Amino acid sequence: MVTAAPLETIYGHLRRHRFYQAVLLLSERFFVSNKKNTIDNFLTCTSEEMRERGLDCVDFVLVSGDPYIDHPSFGTAIIGRLLESRGYSVAVLAQPDWTDADAFKRFGRPRLGFLITAGSVDSMVANYTAAKHKRRKDSLSPGGQTGRRPDRALIVYTNGCKAAFPGCPVILGGIEASLRRLAHYDYWSDKVRRSVLLDSKADILVYGMGERAIVEVADALADGFAARDITWIAGTAFRAREETLPADALPLPAFADVAGDFAEAKEAYCRSYVLQYENGEHIGSRPLAEAYEGGIYVLQNPPQAPLSRKELDNVYALPFCYDQHPVYSQEGCEIPALHEIRFSIAHVRGCFGNCAFCAITAHQGRIPTARSRESVVAEAEKMASLPGFYGYIHDVGGPTANIRGAACAAQEKRGSCKQRDCLWPQPCKNLRADHTEYTQLLRAVRGVPGVKKAFVRSGIRYDLVLADGKGGPAFLKELVGYHVSGILKTAPEHVNAQTLACMRKPGPEVYERFEARFNEAEAARQAEAQKAGGKCSPQYLLPYYISAHPGCDLASAAELTDHLKAHGFVPDQIQDFYPTPGTLATCMYHTGMDPFTGAPVYVPGKNPAVPGERALQRALLHEHKKENKPRAAKARRMLKHR
C-alpha cells in the first residue's frame, strides 16, 4: 500500500517551483492505490537503482550506521521519506565500509550535502556491553553480524564524506548527535569529550527529533546559503566565534573547566548539566554557548517545538514499505530486529517520566505528542494488508506506552517545571492521569479487520495507572483482558530508597500496589474464561531491575536480592547500569554528586574499598546461578565484616 501525498505537500512543491515533483505526487494521489513492495518503492539504496532511475546525482546522501529498513521506527526512513515528500531526492548509504574511501562515493557528490546518523542507538552502545566487552550480536545489522558500524560512527563517517568530497556540507543528526552535541562524559574512554560537532568537523548538528529542523536546513541549502551561514534554525548547533554570539546567549562552563578529573571540574560539569536541562525545551530557553580553545564556541540554538498532532500524523502517513530493503533479502540476510519492529506502532513520542538513567527525555523531549486515533488506525489497516501479517500487532506503544500527552496544562503553556518532576517523588497534584483516550485507541486498533491481537509490549508507568482513579481500573482491565502477550513489562528497577531516589523512581510499595491490582484483573479474566467454559493461558508481570546504578552500594544490592527472594521471584531481566551520554545518572556517575542539589552520590565501581563492585552487585542479583555463587559469597562476606 502506498500512501498518497497530502495536498499541502503538493502545493508546497508548486510554491517552491518544483513543478515536476508536484505533478508526480499529484498523479500518485489520484491514481496509486495499492502496490506491492518492490525496489521501486524504496528510497535509492544502490548505485544500480540510481542509474535505473535516471539520476545523475541526488540532493542528499543519507549515511546511516543502521541498515536501511523503510519503517517509521527508524530515523533514516523518516528523514529520507520526509525530504522526498518535500521534493528532494535522497539516497541511503547504509552501513558503508568505512575502511574503503570509495564507499562514500557510491552516489557521487550530493547536490546539497551529506546527512549522517550513527543509527537508532549510539554506536558505542551498539558495539559494546556495559562491561565494555565487544557485543557478540547486533540485532540491527543483517544476520545479526557485528562489526558493520564503526566506533564513534559520526566522526568516522564525516571523515569519509569529507575525504571523498571536500567542501561538501555535512549535517549530523540522530541520537548520537543529540546526546553528544556539547561536552559530555564518555564512559568508554572515561573522560569528558568535546562536542561531536568539533571532533567530527561537521558543519551543522541537528538535535532532538529533527523533522522540522532538517527540512529548514534543506530549504536553506537549496536557496543557496552556505552551511556555515545557516545559524538561525531552532534545534541545531554550530561553530561560532565570540563576536558572532547572539546577545541573549547563555554561557556554559567552558570545556577546559569541565574536562578535568578534579572536584572543581566536576562541580562545573554539574552546573553545565543543570543549565542544559533548564534550557531543554522550546518555551523560555536561551541559546547556549560553550567555549573551546582557540576562541571557538559551540552555539546551541533553543530546541524546536514538538511536532503538533497533525504534523506527527503526516509523518506517519508517508509511504513507508514496512520492510528491509530488498538488497538484504537478495544477499540471504534478515535483520533480526525487524521481526518485532515491523508490525509495531508508535502512537506517541516524548516522555515526562524523566527516569535518571533514560535518554528519551534528552532526545525526544519532556512534552509528549500523541498521534490521532485515525492516524494509528490507518497504520494498523496498512499493516493488516501487508504480506507476512498474521493478525498480530506486536506493540501499540512508545517511549512509555500509557503516556499520551502533556503532563498538565501548565506544561503545554510554560514548559516543564525546572526543579521538580511530574511523577517523582510522587505524582504531581496537577498531573493529568487519564487513560481514557489510550483505552479507546487500543479498542479501535483491535477492531481493525484482520487484526487478531494488538499487544502492548512497551513499558508502562504503573504509578501513572494508580494515579488515575477514574480511568486507571478500566484501562488495566482492558490491558489485561486483550493486550498482554503472556507477560507485561514493568520497571520497578530497585527497592532501596537511596537508589530509587537517584533513579527518580517511586518506592517498592507503589509497585506492590500495582502488582495486586494486576493480579486481581488477571484473576477476573481467568474467572470469566472459566465461566464461559473455556481456558486461557496465565499472564504475568515481568519486572526489570538495574544493578550498580549510582546511589546503590553493596548493601543496597543485597537488600534487593533479599527482597526478591522473600517474594519468591527469581530475576532474569537484570541490566547493569550503562552510563550513556546525556542522562542525569551518567552525570552522577561521573561527578559523584546530584547536579541539582550538590549532595554526594555513591558510585559503584569507583570505591577503592570494594574492587570489582559492579560485578559483585550483578552476582548478588543472580545469586541462584552456579557461576555467580563464588562472587555472591564474596559480597556477602564483605558485608558481614563491615
Note the pLDDT of residue 419.
77
Lowest mean pLDDT: which of 39-43, 426-430, 559-563, 607-611?
A: 39-43
Q: Sorting pLDDT into bands at 50, 70 and 90, what band is 208?
A: very high
User: Rounded distance, CA 301 to CA 306, Å?
Assistant: 15
**DSSP E strands: which ranges in 107-183?**
113-117, 170-173
Q: What nine digits make up the cell of 377?
A: 488506525
Q: What is the pLDDT of residue 7?
A: 44
Average pLDDT over residues 545-557: 97
170-173/204-206 β-pairing: parallel
The pLDDT value recorded for residue 22 is 45
Q: Which residues contact 364 (CB under 8 A, 6 or more apart)?
A: 208, 209, 349, 350, 351, 399
Using 50, 70 and 90 to split pLDDT, how confident is the model at 36?
A: low
Residue 76: the pLDDT is 97
Backbone angles phi, psi at 198, to 5 degrees: -75, -45
User: How confident is the prediction for the chain on average, in pLDDT?
Assistant: 93
Q: Could you tell me the end-to-end alpha-carbon distance of the chain, in angstroms, rounded to an integer? A: 66
Find the range with the poorest average confidence among 1-10, 321-330, 380-389, 456-465: 1-10
- The pLDDT value given to residue 187: 98
Give the C-alpha distances (Å, rounded to integers) separating 510 from 479, 542, 564.
19, 16, 15
Categorize the per-residue pLDDT at 12 as very low, low, confident or very high, splitting at 50, 70 and 90.
very low
Query: Please, which pLDDT band fits residue 629 given cuts at 50, 70 and 90?
Result: very high
Query: Among 107, 416, 474, 434, which residue's Cα sits nearest to residue 285?
Result: 416
pLDDT value at position 34? 40
H or E, element range at 561: helix 554-566
The burial of 142, by beta-carbon neighbours within 10 Å (0-12 exposed, 13-18 middle, 19 or more buried), is given as: buried
pLDDT, average across residues 86-99 = 97
Region 429-449: mean pLDDT is: 97
Per-residue pLDDT at 451 exceeds 70: yes
632-637 contacts at long range (C-beta below 8 A, 24 or more positions apart): 635/554, 635/557, 635/558, 636/558
* Angle (deg, nearest 10), helices 309-316 and 373-384: 10
The predicted model gives 328-354 an average pLDDT of: 92
CB 379 within 8 A of CB 389: no
Q: What is the mean pLDDT of residues 459-488?
A: 96
> What is the rounded average pLDDT of the residues 373-391?
97
Mean pLDDT in residue range 307-335: 94
Distance CA 109, CA 2 (A): 30
Which tens digit of pLDDT belongs to each residue from 398-418?
Answer: 999 999 999 999 999 999 998
Distance of alpha carbon 623 from alpha carbon 352, whole angstroms: 35
At residue 642, the pLDDT reads: 65
Can you state the angle between helices 584-591 and 263-278, rounded to 10 degrees?
Answer: 170
Amino acid 420: pLDDT: 85
Averaged pLDDT, 354-378: 96
| pLDDT value of position 363 | 94
Of residues 14, 80, 15, the one with CA closest to residue 45: 80
Asked whether the predicted pLDDT for residue 25 surpasses 70, the reply is no
Q: Between 385 and 38, name the one with better pLDDT.
A: 385
330: pLDDT strictly greater than 90 = no
Predicted structure pTM score? 0.92
DSSP states along 439-493: HHHHHHHHTSTT-SEE---S---HHHHHH-TTTHHHHHHHHHHHS-SSEEEEEEE
Tell me which CATH code domain 36-236 carries. 3.40.50.280
Q: What would the pLDDT profile of 215-248 be if each residue is shown by its tens digit? A: 999 999 999 999 999 999 999 999 999 999 999 9
Average pLDDT on 410-432 reads 93
User: What does the pLDDT average to over 590-600?
Assistant: 98
3-state secondary structure of 515: helix
- Going from N- to C-terminal start, the domains of the chain cover 36-236, 309-551
The CATH code for residues 309-551 is 3.80.30
Residue 219 has which C-alpha cell?
530549504
Confidence band (pLDDT; 50, 70, 90) for 20?
very low
Peptide bond into 336 cis (omega under 30): no
- In the chain, pLDDT over 90 holds for what percent of residues? 89
User: For residue 37, what pLDDT is reported?
Assistant: 63
DSSP string, 231-291: ---TTEEEEEEGGGS-TTPEEPPPHHHHSSSSHHHHHHHHHHHHHHHHT-SSSS---EEEE
Q: What is the pLDDT of residues 249-299, one digit of tens each?
A: 999 999 999 999 899 999 999 999 999 999 999 999 999 999 999 999 999
Please provide the DSSP assignment of 14-41 as one string: HHTT-HHHHHHHHHHHHH-------GGG
So what's the pLDDT on residue 570? 86
What is the spatial distance between Cα 81 and Cα 72, in angstroms, rounded to a whole number?
Answer: 9
What's the gap between Cα 35 and its chain centre? 31
459 near 432, Cβ under 8 Å? Answer: no
Q: Is the C-alpha dihedral spanning 567, 571, 573, 576 positive or negative?
A: positive
Indicate if the pLDDT at residue 18 is higher than 70: no
Q: What pLDDT sits at residue 394?
A: 97
Burial of 371 (0-12, 13-18, 19+ CB in 10 A): buried
- The CA distance from 439 to 471, in Å, is 9
8 A C-beta contact, residue 532 and residue 608: no
